[in-house]
Amino acid sequence: MQKNNEQKSEFPSVSPKSKRQLGSAGIILAALLTTNNASADAILHAFNWTYDDVAGKASEIAALGYKKVLVSPAYKSAGNEWWARYQPQDLRVIHSPLGDTTDFKQMIAALQSQGVETYADIVFNHMANESYQRSDLNYPGAAVLSTYAADSAYYNGIKLFGDLSENQYAAGDFHPPGCITNWGDPGHVQYWRLCGGNGDTGLPDLDSNNWVVSQQQAYLRALKTLGVKGFRVDAAKHMSSYHINQVFSADIRSGVHVFGEIITSGGAGDGSYDNFLAPYLRDTEHGAYDFPLFASLRRALGFGGSMNQLVDPGAYGQALAGSRAITFSITHDIPTNDGFRYQIMDPTDEYLANAYIMGRDGGSPLIYSDHNESNDGGRWQDLYKRSDIQGMLKFHNATQGRSMQVMSNNDCILLFQREEVGIVGINKCGSGQDVWVNTANHNLWWHANYRDTIGNADVQNISSTWHKFYLPARQARMWLKE
């Protein structure tokens, strides 16, 4: 999500321009989630990649084991900054520094040829903030219409729908001007503008009138016709359930994976969850980013936390149902927006979190990979093909549809199995731990190699009822049966 021509914060006290015991015998043997999500394929978030770049990497992406690729918003937008992609000028054509409609079609075809689906990032809450150059709310505006007219053959050739000789939206298609000031009030958050401070008038906030809904539906249907199989709803927190449900009709939802971005600070009991994410899950059939689980991971893996918190967070409202969850250890908003940077994990904690979300049963893991847009030393650049991520993805794909059972847990470690196929061990603490398991209770195979997929030369061959698993300090193991 990017809400202004500057990085924005959902925490008004932070300047948008500044840089920057559970544990019981019953729980030990409990399954993490009752939902057995057999189609929870990992999604590569190709953040701010050009469509040509995605197309060129299609065979590599497929070979690594990704089944879906989420690409940055596809419509008319201007400006080279990554956040400019989240400021739509016109939904009727795809034309931005990432490519045009032709490039987008070719990317979808290249991915389809490798058995990989395309997901599109959708921005329906607002239009671009162009108050610095004009005072009207006509979109795309006179200047863009003139550009269309000057090269009508090209623009009509890349048109998705509509009449490019006319504006798509006018002043009556927007809520009255005014910036969000009460971030805990859904009415304020959903009907007023996201602003950057210092007199910024904010992003014009779209009304859910019949014309706006019809245009947004036409856009979604056009993308579906091109072959898009999933929609990420940007800034869903800032749209009413009425607006979302009007746009995402049954025919549009059919055959596609829809999930919303609603940033919260935690799960049940947290105000941002109770006021925004819980109503979204109640009022729609969509999935959502699992920010409750992300908060649970940050607490458990952080200083003073306990791995016991990750045994069954969903039982306490601290994780979403697996069938609706998009799980993650980092999203593009966290490092690129000042108000969310406090959520960046220690690099080792993030590695352990990735092992957890890629090893568990439940949720569709989203792997973020950028071009260092956040200026963090390239920490997430080419993350999608980092060796440990490759190994985690191999484990994830091999254990799809397998139920999960926790074998052992304490403050430092969590050891769980995916039936007899795989075993995940995570140790957050600074010293190694031996974990003894009665293999007869867990139906593990004897005299078969369980090999760690993350890249460590660690092979477990079980030959007796009691088997010792060693978990090194600050490390994860993902043993897969050969």
387-398 and 347-359 helices, crossing angle to 10°: 20
Q: Give the active site residue among 130, 173, 234, 458.
A: 234
200 is catalytic: no
Element (H, E) at 152: helix 152-157
What is the DSSP code string of 207-271?
P--HHHHHHHHHHHHHHHHHTEEEEEETTGGGS-HHHHHHHS-HHHHTTSEEEE----SSSTTSH
Is there a catalytic annotation at residue 60? no
Q: What is the distance between the terminal CA atoms of the chain, rounded to a whole angstrom?
A: 41
Q: Amino acid letter at 259?
A: F
CB atoms near residue 288 (< 10 Å): 24
From the centroid of its chain, how far is CA 273? Answer: 17
- What Å distances lie between residue 155 and 142, 227, 320, CA to CA? 15, 21, 43
H/E run at residue 61: helix 58-64
d(CA 144, CA 446): 68
443: left (phi over 0), alpha (psi -120 to 50) or beta: left
Among 117, 261, 350, 361, the one annotated catalytic: 261
Q: Are strands 422-427 and 413-418 parallel, antiparallel or unpaired?
A: antiparallel
Active site residues: 234, 261
